[in-house]
Amino acid sequence: MTRVRERDITLIDGRTLHVYESGKRSSRFPIIWHHGTPNTGPPPEPLMRAAKKAGLRWVAFDRPGYGGSSRHEGRTVGSIASDVEQLADALGLERFAVFGHSGGGPHALACAASMPGRVAAVAISGGLAPLALADGDAGLDRERWFDGMGPVGSASLGAALDGADAKRAHEDAADDGIDFTGRDWAALAGAWGWLGTVAAAGVAGGLDGLIDDDLAYVTPWGVDLSRITAPTLLAHGVNDRVVPIAHARWLVDALPNATLWEVAGEGHISALADDDRGAAAAVRWLADAVEADDA
């Protein structure tokens, strides 16, 4: 098993960011992992071998409000980029790739937009698109943003649209349901059952991280997607009921240099486990993109 090193970084505003590193610093190109909601941020165990074989290594962190990272109340999707820039500076990362799953997708895109000279490539699996809150906004219109989303996610994110108090009240009253497909549950019975561990850890310290995430997803991101120059891969299950495929189809048109892999028959978790277009294949794609960037 690859050893994971942990440390805390003090950010310029005094907050703590809890950081993880794996692999040899001297010989492997870094990928910064952006976790989903509600998770903590250790690098993805099911992808350790794929990264090592591809000559890559993982760097990761607990998003504010999760695990060992201080809460940043009122944070936006875009504000995460500043935290990651400070992380990269502290670890001496001049160039890196980013990989985001689910709610980590928007945050990975924020980093690519904010640091186009440092982000070499982007991979997103099951990531959200921005929500157009008014006519003319750069985002997916509300009807399509929610269309195909299961009842649990629709209710949760709908509550976030009504503000922080409504969102917290919803979570206090909510049960533990989730909009997974049968294929998702099958994937969770295998290697991707690791996600259950980080999800449990994500709420062990309270609901602040989850609430702040969902508020950030449905309010203006503060991210100019047109600034993303890095090649970007969007891999998305066609049958995803947590984040519907419409999100990826909007993003591939909005991003300057994007490729979309539609993973037929798969959902939010099972798309990660797909042999041909799953997360391990996305890691190999990142390695190829990084190599092309260096050429």
Q: What is the pLDDT of residues 27-59, one digit of tens each?
A: 799 999 999 999 999 999 999 999 999 999 999
Q: What is the mean pLDDT of residues 204-232?
A: 97
pLDDT at 191: 97
d(CA 105, CA 171): 22
Beta bridge partners of 124: 100, 234
Peptide bond connecting 42 to the previous residue in cis, omega within 30 degrees of 0 = no
Q: What is the pLDDT of residues 223-249, one digit of tens each?
A: 999 999 999 999 999 999 999 999 999
In which band, very low, low, confident or very high, does the pLDDT at 67 lie, cut at 50, 70 and 90? very high
Q: What is the pLDDT of residues 154-202, one digit of tens each?
A: 999 999 999 999 999 999 998 778 999 999 999 999 999 999 999 999 9
β strands within the chain, DSSP E: 4-10, 16-22, 29-34, 56-61, 96-101, 119-125, 131-132, 140-141, 232-237, 258-263
Per the structure block, which two tokens stand in for 269? 């978790």
Closest of 5, 112, 98, 91 to residue 56, by C-alpha: 98
In which band, very low, low, confident or very high, does the pLDDT at 16 lie, cut at 50, 70 and 90? very high
pLDDT at 239: 98
In which band, very low, low, confident or very high, does the pLDDT at 1 lie, cut at 50, 70 and 90? low
pLDDT at 135: 86
- Which DSSP category does 25 fall into? T
Provide the percentage of residues in the chain whose pLDDT is more than 90.
92
Provide the percentage of residues in the chain whose pLDDT is more than 70.
99
pLDDT at 294: 78
- The full set of domain ranges for the chain reads 4-294
d(CA 122, CA 109): 7
Three-class SS state of 227: helix
Three-class SS state of 33: strand
| Cα dist from 188 to 18, 139, 202, 293, whole Å | 26, 31, 17, 34
Strands 4-10 and 232-237: unpaired
pLDDT at 295: 66
Beta bridge partners of 131: 140
Whether the Cβ atoms of residue 240 and residue 272 lie closer than 8 Å to each other: no
**CATH fold group of domain 4-294:** Rossmann fold (3.40.50)
| Cα dist from 162 to 73, 215, 218, 251, whole Å | 17, 9, 10, 25
pLDDT at 176: 73
pLDDT at 145: 98
| Cα dist from 204 to 136, 197, 200, 209, 286, whole Å | 40, 11, 6, 11, 32
d(CA 4, CA 97): 18
The amino acid present at 84, given as its one-letter code, is: V
Check whether 93 has a pLDDT greater than 80. yes
Q: What is the pLDDT of residues 135-152, one digit of tens each?
A: 888 999 999 999 999 999
Average pLDDT of the residues of the chain: 96
Residue 176's contacts (CB-CB under 8 Å, 6 or more residues apart) are none
Q: What is the mean pLDDT of residues 259-266?
A: 98
Closest of 202, 183, 200, 175 to residue 241, by C-alpha: 183
Name the helix (H) or strand (E) containing 165: helix 164-173
Q: What is the mean pLDDT of residues 107-124?
A: 98
Count the Cβ atoms, other than its own, within 10 Å of residue 193: 13
pTM of the model: 0.97
Angle between helix axes 151-161 and 164-173 (nearest 10 degrees) is 150
Per the structure block, which two tokens stand in for 213? 């995430």
